[in-house]
Structure 1
């Protein structure tokens, strides 16, 4: 089937150089700025009514509302629409409805969910270090650090690290708010390993400053697909949100784009593995200078070597021949070592966490072959 970008039949020998030269260096037209709607979140049972701005013409309903209402996610907008809480011109609307501008829009209830308060749960924790100021936890894969801001008491607010911390410790810092007590930094849900928790506000602020100033040495172990050619690689690629697939981050946006931030990862090869049955792999140690969302996963994908198990960034669901496959239901990524000066005692702490059993077993299976 001909591409939609091809010239019409009979004109395909015609040069397009003049058109190209005319547009070269010309910035594309900026999208219209959507006026922000001021909405009161306090009344749960009220109906918010307004007229869609002229700038909404051509946008989907969920796109428009996500841009017009401050601090609301598109997922939250879609949830309101799915629950029948959004009407356009008096009719219950769908998220994909294309607006023309000027429609009468009604939202029933608060656009934002009510504030969420974390609660204690009796969940086992592995402590690597504890004193009166802070604790260092060995987080298992599959455990979310804290509930998302859109969670409710019965949704995604159980089984988190925060739930476990509130059960095990009498006091945690409140700098991060009621939803994230004690949380100074995070690990992805499917990443295991070392995470530091602050017990008081002073320690929390000092640790946050240390993270911002890159005064902690953070080292991870990862298994990637393929054979890395060099023993040592430094990846210095800025990272920002993927504008097409919002759950992903990317290195392909311009460094000066909004929300794109510098990111540096130092990669050292520990072992190259060739398995006739399962393929080529490289076990690496990654030391990060910055702590961007999905940083290691994105940087390794940018090299063409995604982390094993990381299907979000291109890793296959299974490795091996059709009749003999292996799978890993998590990312082969582990926060293995953290070195820092204690913010209160000023003594150096060197915390290490061994590879979890599931990663050891997967590594042994491909290495034995």
Structure 2
């Protein structure tokens, strides 16, 4: 059966999909053995080329937008970086510990370069400004001993990054000592393994749930929401977190 992606929005200029965790946006030397790419799947699905406007990490799921021409892609790229950008993003994440109720993280991030892909890039770039607003939506405490504590605490958070630095939310969560579950690079291995082996959640618990943007041609405001996958839904059900979700993501009982 031919693989397809769930389309959230489509017209003659733009296409938005709900990217599943584990899918690359396009070919990458970092993952040279991977054979599945969102661009290729969409090209086969709709019968025309697509042009990525932004990125989501391979393990991150959620709203991913493409232009259907290079001209529209150029317009959207300018819109993203404009001082009065109409782009607004919201992410759901599960983090270790009880996160602060409401925290604004202003922590510059130095670009992390890949030894293969970025070997010709400037190696001594200064840190770039990065701000993320994080709000705690719900908490849970499990009678599970991990890393020496008799109980283990976790939080469901909503994150709104003001920029799109590489791994911005993941690095900011680590910066405040509340790393995202399933983050192999910035997280905590024992907690990641517990979620994978005991809670059947082997993925990075970061989901690009919401994106608001301005249509580059009509100037219409477009609001996109991406539903949560089975891993997310079962975890939210098990922790009784469904009612803490934004209304547009409220789940029916499983």
State whether TM-score is above 0.5. yes
Aligned in 2, Cα 1:185/1:289: closer, same or farther, shift over 3 Å?
same
- Name the residue aligned to 1:191: 60
- Name the residue aligned to 1:27: none
Aligned-partner Cα distance in 1 for 2:86–2:46: 26
Is the CA contact 1:279–1:319 (under 8 Å) kept in the aligned structure 2?
no
Aligned-partner Cα distance in 2 for 1:134–1:283: 31
- Name the residue aligned to 2:147: none
Which deviates the most, 231-240 or 269-278?
Answer: 269-278
- Name the residue aligned to 2:44: 167
Aligned in 2, Cα 1:328/1:242: closer, same or farther, shift over 3 Å?
same
Deviation at 1:231, TM superposition (A): 1.6
- Name the residue aligned to 1:125: 5
Asked if 1:147 is matched to 2:27, the reply is: yes
Is the CA contact 2:210–2:225 (under 8 Å) kept in the aligned structure 1?
yes
Give the structure-1-normalised TM-score.
0.56
Aligned-partner Cα distance in 1 for 2:184–2:53: 27
Deviation at 1:275, TM superposition (A): 2.3
Deviation at 1:196, TM superposition (A): 0.4
Deviation at 1:363, TM superposition (A): 2.9
Aligned-partner Cα distance in 1 for 2:45–2:134: 36
Is the CA contact 1:274–1:280 (under 8 Å) kept in the aligned structure 2?
yes
| One of 5, 9, 16 as aligned partner of 1:136 | 16
Aligned-partner Cα distance in 1 for 2:7–2:108: 34
Deviation at 1:165, TM superposition (A): 1.6
- Name the residue aligned to 2:91: 220
* 1:292-303 matched pairs, under 5 angstroms: 292-303=165-176
Asked if 1:332 is matched to 2:201, the reply is: no
Is the CA contact 1:275–1:366 (under 8 Å) kept in the aligned structure 2?
no
- Name the residue aligned to 2:227: 354
C-alpha distance after superposition, 1:4-58 (max 9, x if no partner): xxxxxxxxxxxxxxxxxxxxxxxxxxxxxxxxxxxxxxxxxxxxxxxxxxxxxxx
Aligned-partner Cα distance in 2 for 1:151–1:352: 28
Is the CA contact 2:132–2:172 (under 8 Å) kept in the aligned structure 1?
yes
* 1:30-179 matched pairs, under 5 angstroms: 122-149=2-29, 155-156=33-34, 158-172=35-49
* Alpha-carbon RMSD: 2.5
Gaps of 5+ in 1: 1-120, 173-180, 248-256
Q: Report the secondary structure of 1:195's partner residue.
A: strand
Aligned-partner Cα distance in 1 for 2:106–2:203: 26
Q: Report the secondary structure of 1:144's partner residue.
A: coil
Deviation at 1:238, TM superposition (A): 1.4
Return the index of the structure with the highest Cα Rg. 1
Aligned-partner Cα distance in 2 for 1:330–1:343: 34
Q: Which fold has the larger relative contact order, with Cα–Cα distance below 8 Å and residues 6 or more apart in sequence?
A: 2
Is the CA contact 1:171–1:200 (under 8 Å) kept in the aligned structure 2?
no
- Name the residue aligned to 2:130: 263
Asked if 1:200 is matched to 2:75, the reply is: no
Aligned in 2, Cα 1:269/1:209: closer, same or farther, shift over 3 Å?
same
Is the CA contact 2:18–2:227 (under 8 Å) kept in the aligned structure 1?
no
The number of residues matched between the two structures is: 223
Deviation at 1:261, TM superposition (A): 1.6
Aligned-partner Cα distance in 1 for 2:128–2:211: 23
Deviation at 1:327, TM superposition (A): 5.1
Aligned in 2, Cα 1:327/1:309: closer, same or farther, shift over 3 Å?
farther
Aligned-partner Cα distance in 2 for 1:264–1:151: 29
Aligned in 2, Cα 1:363/1:319: closer, same or farther, shift over 3 Å?
farther
Aligned-partner Cα distance in 2 for 1:151–1:284: 29
Asked if 1:365 is matched to 2:247, the reply is: no
- Name the residue aligned to 1:86: none
Is the CA contact 1:216–1:338 (under 8 Å) kept in the aligned structure 2?
yes
Give the structure-2-normalised TM-score.
0.80
